[in-house]
Amino acid sequence: MDDSEKLVGRVGIAMMAAFAAALGIPIYLTRSPPPPISLANGTYFNPCCGNIVLKNGLMSFSSGSTKYHLTVIKTDLQADTDDDVVISNGHKVSLNVGAHNRSVGFWLASHRNNSMNIYDAAKKPPDHLTLYGSDYSGPYDFSRVSA
């Protein structure tokens, strides 16, 4: 391989790298920042299962706690947790350590049955959260009772 072929190869690689970077930059720049962790702070209650308290990245309940961070998926606010938070035996909030489904959904009652279900999830605090049972039963809806 002579020097001119090496140069053409290097130029081709450089052009492909520049093209890939040009595609990636707009995607990176349009990505919205995560909502403030305090957005979901509050106490959420369900008559069968008791209270869940969210406070600045820590989700606590009678049998334990786990850390979380907030994300917005399309128009829905979610808490991604370190461990799967589930309802066990139909009445107790517990951790399913090592499980794969590690998100908690939030919603506003006024938008729950709206076919569009659009609200500004990154700015408006939710008034409900939803968990599922360890046996995939549910949903178990918790109402926000205090901020």
61 with 79, same domain? yes
- Assessment of whether the complete model's pTM goes beyond 0.85: no
Identify whether residues 14 and 85 lie together within a single domain: no
Average pLDDT, the chain: 77
pLDDT number for residue 3: 64
> Are residues 9 and 67 located together in one domain of the fold?
no
Same domain, 114 and 45: yes
Tracing tokens 């279900």 back to the chain, one arrives at: 117
**Are 45 and 26 found together in one domain?**
no
Same domain, 74 and 90: yes
Co-location of 47 and 26 in the same domain: no
- Mean pLDDT, residues 88-104: 78
Q: Are residues 8 and 45 in the same domain?
A: no
Residue 140: pLDDT band by 50, 70, 90 thresholds?
A: confident
CA Rg value for the chain: 22
- If asked whether residues 108 and 65 sit together in one domain, one would say yes
More confident residue, 54 or 97: 54
Q: Are residues 26 and 59 in the same domain?
A: no
Neighbouring C-beta atoms of residue 130, cutoff 10 Å: 17
57-83 residue pLDDT tens? 999 999 899 999 888 877 678 888 888
pLDDT tens for each residue of 14-64 = 666 666 566 655 554 555 678 889 999 999 999 989 999 999 999 999 989
Q: Is the same domain home to 19 and 82?
A: no
Tell the residue number behind the tokens 């918790």, with chain if given: 142
Rounded distance between C-alpha atoms, residue 147 and residue 58, angstroms: 14
Confidence of residue 100 (pLDDT cuts 50, 70, 90): low
pLDDT score of 83: 85
Q: Are residues 45 and 71 in the same domain?
A: yes
Domain tally, the chain: 2
DSSP assignment string, the chain: --HHHHHHHHHHHHHHHHHHHHHHHHHHHHPPPPPPGGGG-EEEEETTTEEEEEETTEEEETTEEEEEEEEEETTEEEEEESSEEEEETTTEEEEETT-S--EEEEE-GGGTT-SS----TTTSPPSEEEE-BTTS---EEEEEEE-
Q: Which range of residues forms the domain containing residue 15?
A: 1-31
Query: Cis bond leading into 139, ω under 30°?
Result: yes
